[in-house]
Amino acid sequence: MESNMIDEVISGVCDPSARKPHRAALILARGGSKGIPLKNIKNLAGVPLIAWVLRAALDSEVFESVWVSTDHDEIERVARVWGAKVHRRSPEVSKDSSSSLETIQEFIRVRPEVDIVCHIQATSPCLHPHHIREALQMITEQGCDYVFSVVRRHQFRWEEVDKKDDKNPTSPNLDVARRPRRQDWPGELYENGSFYFSTRKAWENGLKQLKKMAYYEMLPEYSVDIDVDIDWPVAEQRVLRFGYFGREEKAAVRLFLCKVSGCLTNGQIFTSVSGEDHVAINARDVAGIQMLQRDNIEVILMTSVNELLSRALLEKVAQLAGCGLRFGEQLDGLEVQWLMKEKKLRWDEVAFMGSESEDREILSQVGLNGVPSDAPVADLIAAKYMCQRPAGNGAVREFAEYILMLKKKSLMPVHQENIDRANF
């Protein structure tokens, strides 16, 4: 029965009475990375590396399930927070010598419902949902049983020679006497390691009996693969321009709500000899708030009636920051909803920065959320942006810059034809 289903998937013809093929995305994320420790969950441009591909896989809306295969507790936690299911791989496929194929085969052995697997590499943060959808069509509509991603490179290759042999090196793709111009040479295709689609049967056979295979060509700007630490700064700049930011990428933020304690301040209260309370506010955070206001984004500081700081001190903080102040009974989603109704705003037009577990409700509903690096709530939610800086030390400024970057990105879409691919 299972074999017949796979054959129907490959041929593109399904029996109407048969069940829909189960398509699963699988990201392999072993904890023992040698190049960069726990690379898969290290923050890249404010988001865990693995979250970039998880977001693309989930938003592609073509998978019945999205999985992370790991042997590490912290990777499992991050994967679940970002909406993935977790397959705890066995020690046998968690060794340095374990291959991706062995790990995928173990996964499908315990998941008999899966018919098609897309192995997505966590180290490819510029993957977009449309790449996944288009490649899957090559399996479901064109009859391929194996599809892999490639990128076109204009690079001349040379054979390595032993210096002791005193031989001239030779090139398999270049005639030195007739070196072509870039525009006169189509280049060559290289695997970019972004993803590998295949049917269950092909994976089970160790990819040895492939009937029809094809490549899916991705543009160079999307072909980012992080192997070593030196790649990180380059990848960060590339992902800010070409990465997939999820549905918030199109959001037009008009209101920024920010908790005072745990975001604008670090929670410390200084008491003088005379009994007066004092708090410290970072000048960079104040500048960040002013940047948003200059860009016509309203800023309101939020606090609850249970706040330890006095009302007079909170009002002084708001005055110093040059923005509004809102007191709430519980600071829950209902109170924010009333505020939005008052200002005629939708959830996707609101950004919120919180830090504590009681902020989860609002964080989960707004169009864009952010948390300081030391926020307790960071372990509980999939924050759209995780600041590198802690509360009271530039986190608000950092998140403000991120909001403005997304706004600029939404107003100035990338024109692919204007990209100088010679630099990729």
Residue 18 resides in a domain: no
Residue 201 resides in a domain: yes
**Sign (positive/negative) of CA torsion 309, 314, 320, 322?**
positive
Residue 4 resides in a domain: no
The catalytic site residues sit at: 179
Asked if 208 and 344 sit in the same domain, the reply is no
Distance separating alpha carbons of residues 153 and 57, to the nearest angstrom: 26
Residue 235 resides in a domain: yes
Asked if 77 and 218 sit in the same domain, the reply is yes
Residue 17 resides in a domain: no
Residue 259 resides in a domain: yes
Query: Residue 167 corresponds to which tokens in the numbers above?
Result: 């031989």
Q: Judge contact between 221 and 421, C-beta under 8 A.
A: yes
**Where in the sequence is the domain holding 117, given as residue range(s)?**
23-160+181-242
Each residue of 60-94: pLDDT tens digit? 999 999 999 999 999 999 999 999 999 999 999 98
Q: Classify 313 as helix, strand or coil.
A: helix
- In sequence order, what are the residues at sequence separation of 6 or more whose Cβ sits closer than 8 angstroms to the Cβ of residue 239? 44, 45, 52, 125, 126, 224
**pLDDT tens digits in sequence order for the chain, 424 residues long:** 444 444 544 444 445 446 789 999 999 999 876 667 788 999 898 899 999 999 999 999 999 999 999 999 999 999 999 999 999 999 999 888 899 999 999 999 999 999 999 999 999 999 999 999 999 999 999 999 999 999 999 999 999 998 888 889 999 999 899 999 888 899 999 999 999 999 999 999 999 989 999 999 999 999 988 876 667 888 888 898 899 988 766 668 999 999 988 898 887 766 666 666 667 788 999 999 999 999 999 999 988 766 667 777 788 888 888 898 888 766 677 888 889 999 999 998 999 999 988 888 999 889 899 999 999 998 888 888 999 899 989 999 999 999 998 888 776 655 554 555 555 5
Give the number of domains in the chain.
2
Per-residue confidence (pLDDT) for residue 35, from 0 to 100: 66
Distance separating alpha carbons of residues 85 and 311, to the nearest angstrom: 45
Asked if 219 and 131 sit in the same domain, the reply is yes
Asked if 68 and 109 sit in the same domain, the reply is yes
Per-residue confidence (pLDDT) for residue 248, from 0 to 100: 61
DSSP notation for 183-222: GG---EEEEEEEEEEEEHHHHHTTT-S-S-EEEEEE-GGG
Q: Which of 34, 31, 29 is nearest to 52 (CA)?
A: 29
Distance separating alpha carbons of residues 390 and 410, to the nearest angstrom: 27
pTM: 0.80
Q: Residue 295 maps to which CATH number?
A: 3.40.50.1000
Asked if 402 and 266 sit in the same domain, the reply is yes
Asked if 394 and 284 sit in the same domain, the reply is yes
Asked if 234 and 260 sit in the same domain, the reply is no
Asked if 305 and 335 sit in the same domain, the reply is yes
Residue 217 resides in a domain: yes
Asked if 227 and 298 sit in the same domain, the reply is no
Q: Residue 51 maps to which CATH number?
A: 3.90.550.10
Q: Judge contact between 197 and 63, C-beta under 8 A.
A: no
Asked if 308 and 386 sit in the same domain, the reply is yes
Asked if 272 and 404 sit in the same domain, the reply is yes
Residue 134 resides in a domain: yes
Asked if 344 and 313 sit in the same domain, the reply is yes
